[in-house]
């Protein structure tokens, strides 16, 4: 029925879990994790498998002659859609029947270990440029481009750096928002910027939890109520951290 | 002239967001294009005085439809394209205004703005759901043999 030689269900379970783990850790939607794991299992001849995925862990069970249940805890999450896309490609190849189990396992391990992200300076530059562009999109003037560029870039760099030192995500976001507020107020006070509101809105945009909101909605749609709600809560907390950071500066200023 | 400025900046901003989310290099221009079309729909909607909520709804439907087309054509997860297109629609400005009014003790105005921001977020969500549902209806039965085998619909 498909061209795979039989692999042990132990190895198949490991492949499924690794694929699921990579997708979940790098910002993929929950339904994609479950879908991918069940597809891989089916392609390798396991007819009945069950998975339960939340943002912080995966439970995967295999039915049949050799029953097995495994659990993986996810503690570190980041956003790397390139890896999600790579795992998706591998899952497609497995599904179409031209990737052997051990080969797939090696490829997945390679993806997991690789650091295939853009360099930090490029991301900071992207955040700075994006902030500047948002200023123009929100009908700000070009004379405010420079302060937004600096504040947005600095805040993103600060967020990335601080996140490495302090593992509490919301704290890092709060401090980054404080930085944006302070920089913007200083720019306006010393005559480099003009419209304080527009400067702050533009610079805050790279911190906005857009990915979480989209993922949360799609999870809720697909019936993954637990992960949809918890991702929504994460998005809300992020928004709250940013908002209170800005509010703190505004109330002082 | 204003329009060109808006189109160029929205393209660059969305592509830059793609970069922040580490999307594959070859899809960066597509992310920009999705964001640009979404923003174009939003701006036109606002100029036709459809109101921010309706304009956001239309824009988020447009973003998701195009993302689905790209996802199918390039066999890439849809989230790669939709995420950077959605970002410009997020009501950051309104949320900021609401927050500012809270700080200035104008609670009436703050609540009003916060509710509007909430409604716009809802419009984004409904837009995402709406085009997803259409996509599922059009696809109908899963085409791939493996879907029939697994007895589940194709959600890719």
Gap between the Cα atoms of A94 and A104, Å rounded: 8
Give the Å distances, CA to CA, from A171 to A156, B83, B96: 14, 24, 19
Are A238 and A145 in a shared domain? yes
Is there a domain that residue B124 lies in? yes
Chain A residue with minimal CA distance to B13?
A130
Is there a domain that residue A2 lies in? no
Are A107 and A129 in a shared domain? no
Are A176 and A202 in a shared domain? yes
Is there a domain that residue B155 lies in? no
pLDDT at B140: 63
Which residues from A are below 8 Å from B146, CB to CB? Answer: 39, 42-43, 95
Gap between the Cα atoms of B122 and A217, Å rounded: 10
Are A157 and A72 in a shared domain? no
Are A166 and A216 in a shared domain? yes
Are A86 and A124 in a shared domain? no
Is there a domain that residue B68 lies in? yes
Given A80, A113, A146, the domain boundary residue is A113
Is there a domain that residue A1 lies in? no
Are A55 and A142 in a shared domain? no
Sheet (strand A57-62) strand order: A49-54, A57-62, A68-73
Distance of CA A232 to the CA centre of its chain: 13
> Per the CB < 8 Å rule, is A206 touching B17?
yes
Is there a domain that residue A188 lies in? yes
Helix (H, G, I), strand (E, B) or coil at A58: strand
Span B18-30, average pLDDT: 91
pLDDT at A122: 92
Are A57 and A129 in a shared domain? no
Given A80, A96, A113, the domain boundary residue is A113
Of A82, A218, A222, the CB nearest to B22: A82
Q: Degrees (nearest 5) of the Cα angle B140, B143, B146? A: 120
Does residue A150 or residue B152 have the better pLDDT?
A150
Helix (H, G, I), strand (E, B) or coil at A60: strand
Given a cut of 90, is residue B63 above it in pLDDT? yes
Helix (H, G, I), strand (E, B) or coil at A54: strand
Cβ atoms A137, B88 nearer than 8 A: yes
Helix (H, G, I), strand (E, B) or coil at A52: strand
| pTM metric for this prediction | 0.85
Q: Can you list the residues of chain A whose pLDDT is less than 50?
A: 1-3
Which residues from A are below 8 Å from B100, CB to CB? Answer: 197, 246-247, 250
For A43, the domain range is: 9-113
Are A106 and A159 in a shared domain? no
ipTM: 0.85
Which residues from A are below 8 Å from B121, CB to CB? Answer: 213
Given A94, A113, A132, the domain boundary residue is A113
Is there a domain that residue B136 lies in? yes
For B19, the domain range is: 2-150
Gap between the Cα atoms of A6 and B13, Å rounded: 48
Cβ atoms A90, A19 nearer than 8 A: yes
pLDDT at B156: 43
**Residue B140 burial (C-beta neighbours within 10 Å; 0-12, 13-18, 19+):** exposed
Kindly state the greatest CA–CA separation across chain A: 74
Given a cut of 90, is residue B36 above it in pLDDT? yes
Are A138 and A98 in a shared domain? no
Torsions phi, psi for B84 (to 5 deg) = -75, -20
pLDDT at A5: 55
Given a cut of 60, is residue B148 above it in pLDDT? no
Count of positions (residues) in chain B:
156
pLDDT at B50: 78
> Per the CB < 8 Å rule, is A126 touching B23?
no
Total number of domains in chain A: 2
């Amino acid at each position: 029925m498909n061209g795979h030689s039989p692999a042990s269900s132990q190895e198949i379970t490991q492949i499924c879990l690794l694929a699921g783990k990579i997708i979940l850790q790098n910002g993929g939607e929950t339904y994609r994790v479950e879908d991918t794991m069940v597809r891989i299992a089916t392609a390798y001849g396991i007819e009945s498998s069950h998975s339960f995925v939340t943002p912080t862990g995966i439970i995967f069970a295999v039915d049949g002659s050799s029953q097995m249940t495994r659990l993986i805890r996810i503690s570190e999450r980041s956003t790397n859609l390139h890896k999600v896309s790579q795992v998706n490609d591998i899952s497609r190849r497995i599904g179409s029947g031209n990737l052997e189990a051990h080969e797939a396992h090696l490829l997945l391990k390679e993806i997991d270990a690789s650091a295939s992200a853009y360099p930090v300076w490029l991301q900071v530059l992207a955040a700075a440029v994006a902030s500047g562009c948002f200023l123009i999109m929100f009908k700000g003037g070009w004379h405010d481009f420079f302060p937004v560029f600096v504040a947005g870039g600095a805040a993103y760099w600060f967020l990335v750096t601080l996140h490495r030192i302090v593992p509490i995500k919301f704290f890092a976001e709060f401090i980054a928002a404080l930085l944006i507020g302070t920089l913007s107020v200083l720019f306006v006070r010393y005559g480099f910027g003009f419209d304080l509101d527009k400067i702050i809105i533009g610079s805050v945009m790279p911190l906005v939890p857009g990915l979480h909101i989209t993922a949360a909605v799609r999870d809720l749609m697909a019936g993954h109520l637990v992960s949809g709600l918890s991702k929504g809560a994460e998005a809300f907390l992020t928004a709250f951290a940013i908002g209170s950071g800005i509010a703190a500066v505004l109330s002082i200023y | 002239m204003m329009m060109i400025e808006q189109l160029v900046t929205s393209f660059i901003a969305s592509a830059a967001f793609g970069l922040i989310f580490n999307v594959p290099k070859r899809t960066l221009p597509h992310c920009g294009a999705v964001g640009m079309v979404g923003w174009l729909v939003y701006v036109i909607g606002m100029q036709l005085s459809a109101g921010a909520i309706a304009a956001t709804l239309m824009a988020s439907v447009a973003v998701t439809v195009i993302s689905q087309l790209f996802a199918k054509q390039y066999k890439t997860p849809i989230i790669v394209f939709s995420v950077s297109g959605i970002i410009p629609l997020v009501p950051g400005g309104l949320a900021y205004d609401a927050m500012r009014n809270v700080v200035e003790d104008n609670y009436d105005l703050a609540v009003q703005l916060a509710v509007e921001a909430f409604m716009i977020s809802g419009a984004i969500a409904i837009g995402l759901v709406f085009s997803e549902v259409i996509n599922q209806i059009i696809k109908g039965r899963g085409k791939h043999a493996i879907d029939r085998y697994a007895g589940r619909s194709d959600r890719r």
